[in-house]
Amino acid sequence: MNIRKSLAILLILVPISIGPLQAQDSGFDGLKAEAVASVGSMQKLTQEIIDSLFSFSELGFQEFETQRYLTELLQDNGFDVELGIAGIPSAWWASWGNGEPVIALGSDVDGIPRASQMPGVAYRQPMIEGAPGHGEGHNSGQAVNIVAALAVKAIMERENLPGTIVLWPGIAEELLGTKAWYARDGLFEGVDAVLFTHVGRNLGVSWGRARGTGLVSVEYLFDGEAAHGAGDPWEGRSALDAVELMNIAWNFRREHLHPLQRSHYVISNGGDQPNVVPSSASVWYFIREVTADGIRQNFATLQQIAEGAALMSDTSVTRRIVGAAYPRHFNRPIALAMDQNIQNVGLPQWSEDDQQFAKALQTLMGSEDPQGLATELSGITPDLEEPVSGGSDDIGDVAWNVPTVTLRYPSNVSGLQGHHWSSAMAMATPIAHKGAVAGAKVIAATMLDLVQSDTLVDEAHSYFEDVQTADEEYQPFIGPEDPPAIEKNEDIMAEFRPLLQDLYYDPSRYDTYLEQLGIDYPQLEATEIRRN
């Protein structure tokens, strides 16, 4: 057994002292006060999980080191683990306990291509040039969930409280690649509530319709006839022509789509070289809209355009769904309970170093009046009156199958570029660690609300049945046969994994990852980094 595992177990077995710790988290009493204090005593474990996942830097569908590390930790702490759920090799389902309520905690784990970045320094420095990195902050959410689960599990065991705790990962969230498949395979049948966590810049929750869109991510593959590009081009049928015709048609059609739609594409295969008529070519689209019906309509339009392009170019076309995300709708009763806990926990105490670092990052990214880290809670966000367009998140597919909320916790810095190396800079620093501890306290307290309240689970179900799904039925964008795109990112990780392995965090030798990297946080000026 290695040191990090034994540490995790030790933290559970050591009797929790609640006297002095409890006083810091005023507003809680009873078991919730104890759970929150217990989370506070697991700061070290929280930091180790966050720093480890940061160092693994794995892309979607290839999160195998992350899977190994987290599932070993969970098994050592008494969870039953099933690997490879829903036909997705890097996924897992970890459960402990008996009976109801069944509370499932989820968070994404995948990174961003080309976002490799040294943490704790306020200037661009890739750890490995061109490598993936945690430029979204998905290295922090499992720490929030696991630490909360361990704290609550210890209390449920001692008090003999009925209930089941499940921990699951959002695999390949950056490809919107798995949650609709989890739902299709029935993983959430029998689950009473999903508490999802996502990195943010404040501590907050929302209910009802959320900002943003849902989407279908779909690749169209055209088949033509190869020929010599100069010798006898009349023998050829260009698949690339089909791709170009499809894109032109879509770009004309945009004028007549509802303005809240968002759609974008990349040519994933444009042929091999100019003197060979491309016999195969493909284009990959994201079709986003604020309603499920809008997505279905625009997807049908796109399908028609693809068939039209095939007809015009005398090629044939097939399609493959790569990802899907339903527009999000979150549960009101659970969000209200969570918001009470958010107010009791409050924001972390940021140090001057944290604030100085945050402002340096904001300045780096062009702010003339950097505000630093949040010191006031943002408050609960209610149901949107008017839809607002923007990004998508496949937690929507979960939220249409089981009462769900998403907690945003303050592990990153506002004003940075999303899906970008700048958003990796704080993700293995005290900012990420403190934000995750605050998030874990909220999750632990909300789990106990669900376990202890006589009414909360019923209220959550009534909202789900009588309000959310009263006039809208979930109709998934994927069919029963669409496979998950599990080969994505295989080639990139094959290239970079050997280089990343040399930089994996070793908690048995270094207190923090910053220490292992020889970074004197906050490092504001570019100096030569001494690697320990």
The footprint of Zn ion (CB under 5 A) covers 136
CA distances from 21 to 18, 28, 39, 150 (A): 5, 11, 10, 17
Q: Which is nearer to Zn ion, 34 or 136 (CB)?
A: 136
| Token pair 């039209």: residue | 308
Max CA distance (Å), the chain:
86
Q: Which is nearer to Zn ion, 136 or 354 (CB)?
A: 136
CB of 179 to Zn ion, least distance (A): 12
CB of 137 to Zn ion, least distance (A): 7
CA dist., res. 319 & res. 422, Å (int): 35
Q: Which is nearer to Zn ion, 66 or 282 (CB)?
A: 66
Q: Which is nearer to Zn ion, 34 or 174 (CB)?
A: 174
CB of 199 to Zn ion, least distance (A): 7
Q: Could you give the dihedral angle defined by the CA atoms of residues 240, 245, 250 and 253, in that order, rounded to the nearest 10 degrees?
A: 180
CA distances from 104 to 168, 450, 461 (A): 7, 11, 15
Task: Tell me which residue has its CB nearest to Zn ion.
Answer: 136
CA distances from 279 to 243, 249, 338, 384, 492 (A): 12, 21, 55, 47, 25
| H or E segment to which residue 145 belongs | helix 141-159
Q: Which is nearer to Zn ion, 253 or 420 (CB)?
A: 420
Q: Which is nearer to Zn ion, 136 or 449 (CB)?
A: 136
Question: Which among 179, 192, 193, 106 has a CA at the least distance from the CA of 397?
Answer: 179
Q: Which is nearer to Zn ion, 138 or 329 (CB)?
A: 138
Q: Which is nearer to Zn ion, 136 or 192 (CB)?
A: 136
CB of 363 to Zn ion, least distance (A): 25
Beta strands of 295-381 (E only): which ranges? 316-325, 329-330
CB of 139 to Zn ion, least distance (A): 11
CA dist., res. 510 & res. 516, Å (int): 6
CB of 57 to Zn ion, least distance (A): 15
Beta bridge partners of 168: 106
CB of 158 to Zn ion, least distance (A): 35
CB atoms within 10 A of CB 509: 10
- Evaluate the CA torsion angle 207, 209, 213, 219 in order and state its sign: positive
CB of 173 to Zn ion, least distance (A): 5
Contact between 246 and 306 under an 8 Å Cβ cutoff? The reply is yes
